[in-house]
Structure 1
């Protein structure tokens, strides 16, 4: 499979400004936003080591792309969400990012896909979209078009 996204190559989500903003939210006692930094601060060497060691919970979603679309208020003409039929036949929607815009051309309906996300606890669990007190962050995305 070819990697089409790697967090470290994301100029928006992994910029020095984004990293510092995330860290400030986690460390601030005045803000309800941010994640619990139990495995290190976002982007730190400790954080990456804990991802590699499997200490930060990971969710891997694999399957076939059955839909590509834009969600939310950021409309750029590039899909930011994908619907996947997983290997066990379930249908799930996930956010997706690309390391650079030409990578978005590598993702098409019918292609195999693998998303690797980490799951972190929110400082304020009630802010969780899924109601489980956590938030996911895409770390890597891979695509394979050999079996369209």
Structure 2
């Protein structure tokens, strides 16, 4: 766990960890690794800068902070569904950020389906992201596109 419970402003529950997702879904890991290694798709998938997603090398780099991170905190303002599949509940929330008061739309992540019920308007949320380089290149800058992925998510209880 990288989100530190001692730093939470209120009691919170850690509801998502990418490490747990990796353990629960080895097919997803293999598919992500295959896309990284697939040279016939030079603009699709992760670049593999920090190792293959889910590998021991990658997990070590994640744990040590070699892979860049970003944290946001705020209050849930709205909860809704944007997924076009027939999902079992909301998958998106608007969060009013503590740092500047702006409202941003963020996905709802959890490892245990029962934790979806914790996401309510007015609850606090903390999200820790890891930032990965993609294979794709931004043609305006010539640099690799970077994407933020949820590393951990906690919600107030």
Tell me which interval the TM-score lies in, with the shorter structure as reference length.
0.7 to 0.9
Q: Shift of the alpha carbon at 1:101?
A: 1.2
Matched, 1:86 2:106: no
Moved over 3 A (4+): none
Unaligned regions of 5+ residues in structure 1, if any?
127-131
Paired residue total: 140
1:135 CA drift (Å): 1.8
CA–CA separation in structure 1 for the residues paired with 2:130 and 2:121: 25
Deviations 1:73-127 (A, max 9, x none): 233132211111011211111112111211000111100100111111110135x
Q: Who is 1:115 aligned against?
A: 127
What residue in structure 1 maps to residue 4 of structure 2?
A: none
Instruction: Give the Cα–Cα distance (whole angstroms) in 2 for the partners of residues 34 and 104 of structure 1.
Output: 28
Gaps spanning 5+ residues in structure 2: where?
A: 1-11, 139-143
Answering whether residue 2 of structure 2 is matched by residue 5 of structure 1, we say: no
User: Residue 40 of structure 2 aligns to a residue in which SS?
Assistant: coil
The answer on 1:43 being equivalent to 2:38 is: no
Matched, 1:25 2:52: no
Preserved contact between residue 125 and residue 134 of structure 1 (Cα < 8 Å): no
Instruction: Report the equivalent of 1:60.
Output: 71
TM-score by length of 1: 0.85
Question: Displacement of 1:8 after TM fit?
Answer: 2.8
Q: Hey, what's the Cα distance between the residues in 2 that align with 1:83 and 1:125?
A: 29
Task: Tell me the distance in 1 between the aligned counterparts of 2:58 and 2:78.
Answer: 32
Check whether the contact 1:33–1:124 (CA below 8 A) recurs between aligned residues.
yes
Give the structure with higher Rg (CA): 2
Alpha carbon RMSD of aligned pairs, Å?
Answer: 2.0
TM-score using structure 2 length: 0.81
Residue 148 (structure 2) pairs with residue 136 (structure 1): yes
1:125 paired to 2:125: no
Q: How far did 1:35 drift?
A: 0.8
